[in-house]
Chains A and B, each alone.
Chain A
Amino acid sequence: MHKSLSFRAAVVSLVLLTLFLGIWEGLNSAVKDKAPLSEYELLMGGASQEARVPPPSDVFRLAMEELGNPFYDAGPNDKGIGIQLGYSLYRVLTGFFLAALIALPIGFLVGMSPLMHKALNPFIQVLRPISPLAWMPLALFIIKDSETSAIFVIFICSIWPMLINTAFGVANVRQDWVNVARTHELGPLQTAFQVILPAAAPTILTGMRISIGIAWLVIVAAEMLVGGTGIGYYVWNEWNNLDLASVIFSIVMIGMVGMLLDIALGSISRLVEYEE
């Protein structure tokens, strides 16, 4: 009997994961067996552990603990993973939606008007390759608030893929469909909403999907810089505490949330996709 492709793929994925975790666990416990911790080492909080990456079982135990109570808040340096992720998500989504608010109309304008395309293109080309983190000092100086600065950095990095994809999608709407709008005497607004927007929507959504991916990459680095709250700060803080199990756990969580964001945008883009 041939099982379905996705079933077989899932089996292979599980085998690979088990292998990887098994080897990781095995290597670590081998080290442990050879050199059991002396009382001195234990007292030093595992000074010799510097060289030792915690085995997956440790990480798993910690993950269970953290996920069991994700929203506790015990002071500025001890908050649950859920709270930290919540801060990061809030910043990413705020920056992202602000960027969409600006990028979509401007992208539309650039896509519709060859004049605006030519006029704005030089700015876009210069601003786009700037690493979003390079804006951080300027943002901190002008805004004087680390929270808002982080949102601003997300805003700046989300804007370009959305703007460029929107402009491209709008500029490349098939002339036939524009002609359909013209022969039916649609006004500019009706043409924009009934023909151009649906025609360009898949391209626009691709831009949004790229944007949110980049935003999630950037927020971790931004929060390491500004500190205070958020998953990026959490990773850095745990590193300073030399709690590597927490570092690994949060790395995995960053990946999971990033994947969920992508899945969310992916399912929205499936709604607007069409087949010619």
Chain B
Amino acid sequence: MSSHFVEVQGLAKRYPSPGGAQALTVFENANFGINKGEFVCIIGHSGCGKSTILNILAGLDEASDGVVIMNGKEVSGPSLERGVVFQNYSLLPWRSTLKNITFAVQARWPGWSRDQVVEHSMKFLELVGLKGVEQRKPSQLSGGMRQRVSIARAFATQPQLLLMDEPFGALDALTRGMIQEELIKIWEETHQTVFMITHDVDEAILLSDRILLMTNGPQARVAESVQVSIPRPRSRTDIIHHPAYYKIRNHLVDFLVNRSKELSGSAQRQDFSAVDSTHPAVVDPGTAAETAPTITYRQAAG
């Protein structure tokens, strides 16, 4: 039926209002797909329902409408096939760093021997540069280190889909940059399918193959799917010199600043449905002819 590895169809989330009158619709009619091995980011203003979508994908939350299909099967609860990196790391504080990872590895492969589990876990701790601190408790690690443990835990279970909810939101710019590079490195090695929420436009461009844009809530929608046509491998320092970079960046910023508001709510819905009510518009600002948003780029260059 569909060629996508993950298929999100007509997804909606509503909360009954306290008065019982009209339900609060956080978002509705969300349709998008994720291909195998693709890195997809989703951006939108606070409260538009990004975390809710991610939790529904994870199977932790239930949709009011619509389905999520992964690998031809409907998602109906949490599964080891979908790993989650939570915004607040969610490490178990009574376990050491290593044991936080062996916990997950053991759950994934219950038949493995103790040695096998430890060896596999250590491999992923090394991958995120945390060799040597494996006996420490999470409370004895910095925020950046904790997030690395959390990422290592998710990658170690080798899920078919990795979901990350603003994984770097709580980190300072320097640490964030370092971990982004590490994430790129791991992703290039594993070609893990990733769905990630972020507020950071530059982070989204650096990491993703495609960026989904959500309009403001309530009644938010996934309005656009922006192709990031910048070749890999990418690095933080080089990517900004790529001609497509500022075109994409300006397109995203323009969406967040202006159009996310204009497109939101029920009033504009009629307009929009005239174009395409079900699927997000596919945009590729990087290869498109120069349009208005590139002004910023010319200013930056001149």
Contact = CB atoms under 8 A, between A and B. Distances in A.
Grouping DSSP codes into helix (H, G, I), strand (E, B) and loop, the B interface class, with mixed when no group exceeds half, is: loop
A182 interface: yes
A275 B103 contact: no
Interface in B49-80: 58-60, 77-80
Contacts, number: 55
B104 interface: yes
A275 to B, nearest CB: 4
Nearest to A176: B90
A199 B80 contact: no
Contacts of B92: 177, 180, 195, 198-199
B232 to A, nearest CB: 28
B86 A182 contact: no
A276 B139 contact: yes
Contacts of A194: 103
A275 B82 contact: no
A48 interface: no
A186 B107 contact: yes
Given A179-B60, A183-B80, A276 B86 contact: no
A68 B84 CA distance: 64
B154 to A, nearest CB: 9
Interface size class of B (residues with CB under 8 A): 20 to 34
Grouping DSSP codes into helix (H, G, I), strand (E, B) and loop, the A interface class, with mixed when no group exceeds half, is: helix
A165 B78 CA distance: 30
A33 interface: no
A34 interface: no
Interface residues of A, number: 19
Contact of B107 (A177, A179, A185): A185
Nearest to B163: A183
Contacts of B139: 274-276
Nearest to B154: A183
A199 B94 contact: yes
Interface string A166-194: 00000000001101101111100010001
B90 A179 contact: yes
Name the 9 nearest CB pairs between A and B, nearest first.
Answer: A275-B139, A274-B94, A184-B107, A176-B90, A182-B78, A274-B93, A183-B78, A198-B94, A183-B84
Interface of A: 176-177, 179-180, 182-186, 190, 194-195, 198-199, 201, 272, 274-276
Given A184-B108, A194-B103, 12 more contacts: A177-B92, A179-B86, A180-B86, A182-B59, A183-B58, A183-B82, A184-B103, A185-B79, A190-B107, A198-B94, A272-B94, A275-B93
